[in-house]
């Protein structure tokens, strides 16, 4: 199936699922699973070698949360992936917090900030919990820029897809993305003694 026609078909399945068609939900899961797995693999590729969360487990947990309950009113494919991005962020943060609680302050989960094109981190890996805290602070200052980061970094959406979800132009997405990356890197960079 062509990418554009798959995108349209995903929107159709979301509508059918919202109207109670469980088969549409299953077809949706089969269609989006490879893309979600690709996003999860990208995140976890830069994790430490002994990381306990694997891409399949992350995608399965995501799908359980997104597809397991009552249908959510998704507007279209991009809206579905936007909600998937938020949910994946929550899963990763929950996992990191659980590991920290388990280890009582042990090593924190690491995620590469170079997972999305054009991201130039100060160091190769930055702490996921620190990223989440910084992103929450950015959200208080500039909710739209924080949303752009979440959709690009956690959701793997393109700039055009982010523009569609947020309802802004692609050029504005690029500006927000650039400013938000700079702001986050300023907070996540190595501390000077």
pLDDT, tens digit, 9 for 90 and up, residues 88-145: 888 888 877 777 666 644 444 444 444 444 443 323 333 677 788 888 899 999 999 9
User: Which regions of 8-113 does DSSP assign to beta strands (E)?
Assistant: 110-112
Percentage of the chain with pLDDT > 70? Answer: 73
- For the segment 10-17, the average pLDDT, to the nearest whole number, is 86
Q: Assign 157 to helix, strand or coil.
A: coil
The number of CA neighbours under 13 Å toward the Cβ of 57 is 8
Is the overall model pTM greater than 0.85, yes or no?
no
Compute how many other C-beta atoms are within 10 angstroms of the C-beta atom of residue 117.
8
Residue 192's pLDDT band (boundaries 50, 70, 90)? Answer: very low
- String of b and e for 74-87 (b: at least 16 CB within 10 Å)? bebbbbbbbbbbeb
- For the segment 176-186, the average pLDDT, to the nearest whole number, is 90
Per-residue confidence (pLDDT) for residue 176, from 0 to 100? 95
Per-residue confidence (pLDDT) for residue 169, from 0 to 100? 95
- Rounded distance between C-alpha atoms, residue 80 and residue 29, angstroms: 11
Pair 9, 1: CB distance under 8 Å: yes
The runs of H, that is alpha helices, within 104-169 are 128-141, 143-149, 159-166
Q: Which residue has the higher pLDDT, 180 or 82?
A: 180
67-76, 82-91, 102-111: lowest mean pLDDT where?
Answer: 102-111
Compute how many other C-beta atoms are within 10 angstroms of the C-beta atom of residue 101.
10
Residue 5's pLDDT band (boundaries 50, 70, 90)? Answer: confident
pLDDT, tens digit, 9 for 90 and up, residues 27-54: 988 888 888 888 888 777 656 565 667 8
Q: Which residue has the higher pLDDT, 26 or 116?
A: 26
């Amino acid at each position: 199936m062509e990418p554009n026609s798959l995108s349209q078909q995903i929107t159709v399945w979301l509508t059918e699922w919202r109207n109670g068609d469980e088969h549409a939900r299953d077809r949706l899961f089969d269609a989006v699973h490879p893309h979600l797995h690709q996003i999860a693999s990208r995140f976890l590729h830069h994790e430490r070698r002994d990381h306990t969360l694997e891409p399949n487990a992350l995608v399965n947990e995501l799908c359980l949360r997104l597809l397991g309950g009552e249908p959510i009113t998704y507007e279209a494919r991009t809206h579905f992936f936007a909600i998937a991005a938020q949910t994946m962020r929550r899963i990763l943060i929950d996992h990191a917090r659980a590991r920290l609680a388990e280890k009582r302050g042990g090593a924190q989960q690491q995620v590469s900030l170079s997972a999305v094109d054009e991201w130039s981190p100060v160091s190769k890996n930055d702490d996921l919990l620190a990223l989440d805290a910084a992103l929450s602070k950015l959200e208080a200052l500039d909710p739209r820029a924080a949303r752009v980061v979440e959709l690009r970094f956690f959701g793997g959406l393109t700039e055009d897809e982010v523009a569609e979800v947020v309802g802004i132009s692609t050029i504005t997405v690029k500006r927000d993305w650039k400013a938000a990356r700079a702001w986050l890197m300023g907070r996540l960079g190595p501390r000077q003694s």
